[in-house]
């Protein structure tokens, strides 16, 4: 019986094939699926507050506080300015003013769409016209 001869090139080639198979498998598992990037309603639930750095110097600006509940949103917009001025009706505006908005939101691919009302009272109710 003749001894079988093994080539030294066969063993490293098998090892390379095995390692490349393992690396490919790990690479495939580490890739994210595009469907994982779609936003979900549960990701937004709760209150989100825009915070700016304290050392940021500004003469005017605004901050938003947004609350998401189920499919609804509520926004409080706080605006400020170092300048006090009069609007077209002669009302003094500044240094602080507030705006309130509410509505429903939805998702389209990776975009959030907000549809709602603005010019609301601080309790998010619609203003009542008492001039009639």
Mean residue pLDDT of the chain comes to 77
Q: For the chain, what's the residue count?
A: 132
Please write the tens of the pLDDT for every residue from 15-41: 667 677 777 766 666 665 555 555 566
pLDDT (0 to 100) of residue 117 = 92
d(CA 16, CA 19): 5
Domain ranges, ordered by start, for the chain: 38-118
- Tokens describing residue 87: 């609007």
d(CA 99, CA 8): 78
Q: Choose among 34, 66, 60: nearest CA to 48.
A: 66
Give the β-pairing of 111-118 and 96-108.
antiparallel
d(CA 106, CA 112): 6
- Tokens describing residue 15: 């090892």
Tokens 């700016």 sit at which residue? 52
3-state secondary structure of 29: helix
Please write the tens of the pLDDT for every residue from 30-72: 665 555 555 566 778 889 988 877 787 777 778 889 999 988 9
Report yes or no: 94 and 79 within 8 Å, Cβ to Cβ: no
Beta bridge partners of 61: 80
Beta bridge partners of 85: 93
């Amino acid at each position: 019986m003749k001894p079988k001869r093994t080539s030294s090139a066969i063993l490293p080639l098998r090892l390379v094939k095995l390692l490349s198979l393992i690396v490919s498998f790990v690479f495939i598992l580490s890739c994210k699926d595009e469907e994982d990037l779609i936003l979900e309603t549960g990701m937004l639930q709760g209150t989100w507050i825009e915070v700016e750095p304290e050392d940021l110097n500004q003469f005017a600006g605004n901050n938003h506080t947004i609350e998401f509940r189920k499919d609804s949103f509520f926004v409080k917009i706080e605006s400020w300015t170092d300048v006090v001025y009069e609007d077209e009706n002669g009302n003094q505006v500044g240094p602080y003013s507030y705006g309130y908005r509410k509505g429903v939101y939805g998702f389209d691919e990776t975009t959030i769409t907000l549809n709602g009302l603005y010019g609301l009272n601080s309790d998010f109710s619609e203003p009542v016209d008492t001039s009639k």
